[in-house]
Amino acid sequence: DIQMTQSPSTLSASVGDRVTITCRASQTISTWLAWYQQKPGKSPKLLIYKVSTLNVGVPSRFSGSGSGTEFTLTISSLQPDDFGTYYCQQYNTQWTFGQGTKVEIK
């Protein structure tokens, strides 16, 4: 099984800050990597797929990069609506999620 490890587990940042979340796969997954945002009491929402392709309607302040086993999600200028938990997911071999990164607004 492919394991996905995210860091940090929690981060607290101010509005306007640049925020980066890292996701590491236990083996290469090529570019089959997605990012989801989940708010409390809601279902996850697809932000990015194939490492860097923004889903329809996702603000351009979100971006993704990486390949192989190392990937990042960047929010260029954190907004109040960006609070929540972010999950990476590989879909190279079945589907596996990272444990999540909780983003709090200072």
Partner 1 sequence: QVQLVESGGGVVQPGRSLRLSCVASGFNFNIYGMYWVRQTPGKGLEWVAVMSYDGTTKYYADSVKGRFTISRDNSKNTLYLQMSSLRADDTAEYYCAKDRIVGGITVIDDWGQGTLVTVSS
Binding residues vs partner 1 (CB under 8 A): 1, 32, 34, 42-46, 49-50, 55, 87, 89, 91, 94-100
**How far apart are alpha carbons 73 and 86 in whole angstroms?**
9
Q: Closest distance between partner 1 and the C-beta of residue 12, in Å? A: 20
Cβ closest to partner 1, residue 42 vs residue 106: 42
Q: Closest distance between partner 1 and the C-beta of residue 79, in Å? A: 22
Cβ closest to partner 1, residue 54 vs residue 76: 54
Q: Closest distance between partner 1 and the C-beta of residue 16, in Å? A: 29
Distances (CA, A) of 56 to 15, 42, 53, 85, 94: 24, 19, 9, 20, 24
Helix (H, G, I), strand (E, B), or coil: what is residue 82?
helix
Residue 100 phi/psi, 5° resolution?
100, 150
